[in-house]
A and B are shown apart, each in its own frame.
Chain A
Amino acid sequence: GQSLEQPSEVTAVEGAIVQINCTYQTSGFYGLSWYQQHDGGAPTFLSYNALDGLEETGRFSSFLSRSDSYGYLLLQELQMKDSASYFCAVLSGAGSYQLTFGKGTKLSVIP
């Protein structure tokens, strides 16, 4: 089966940097995605890593190490609006192209 581990909660100060780690176990791995969800609304796509390394998109960066089955989401210059739940998700081809989510990390940004 597939499993993902990420911290349940993180608190950080406005303007700071925060890193949310994700480790996974899966077969047929294609890539690791990150999604943001505000107040139970529609999860929105942040990033996708299929290859090792760091992908940067504005204030957000995502890293993947396939050999370590590990990735992280890095949020810089935190803003209050970044308070949300962040989910790592593995795209795998075991059976079908399925996206399996972690349990989510609730990020609270404080002044």
Chain B
Amino acid sequence: EAGVTQFPSHSVIEKGQTVTLRCDPISGHDNLYWYRRVMGKEIKFLLHFVKESKQDESGMPNNRFLAERTGGTYSTLKVQPAELEDSGVYFCASSLPPGQGTGELFFGEGSRLTVL
């Protein structure tokens, strides 16, 4: 069974440009999360989808970040325009609902974003 996959693995862009990160969750996982780790700090929550609906987007830092999950399958996270402080690793994770499993989130390998 394929795990969570993310693309690209690494993106280098200039300040002001746009980047779109993609996440393909594990098939059948309705819950999809975006997290990011900046400068080796804690892994911080960005938002949570249940199928195609945004369940919680309280962690989104500002309106330069836009996440979508059309059709409830893969998700994209767009940063436009990118700023220097957006550099970090963006992780996607998927899971079954808490009552159906062990509470485990399955993480992708992350998309490293470097803004110059």
Contacts and interface: CB of A to CB of B under 8 A. Distances in A.
Contact of A104 (B31, B33, B43, B108): B43
A30 interface: yes
A60 interface: no
B102 A41 contact: no
Contacts of B107: 35, 42-44
A96 B50 contact: yes
- In order of increasing CB-CB distance, the 6 nearest A-B pairs are A96-B56, A96-B55, A103-B42, A48-B103, A45-B104, A101-B43
A102 to B, nearest CB: 7
Contact-size category for A: 20 to 34
Contacts, number: 70
Nearest to A99: B105
B74 interface: no
Give the interface size class of chain B.
20 to 34
Given A91-B103, A97-B97, A99-B33, A42 B45 contact: no
A48 to B, nearest CB: 4
Contact of A40 (B89, B93, B108): B89
Interface in A69-111: 87, 91, 93, 95-104
Contact of A42 (B33, B40, B48, B110): B110
Nearest to B112: A40
A42 B91 CA distance: 8
Contact of B103 (A33, A40, A42, A100): A33
A104 B42 CA distance: 6
A97 B109 contact: no
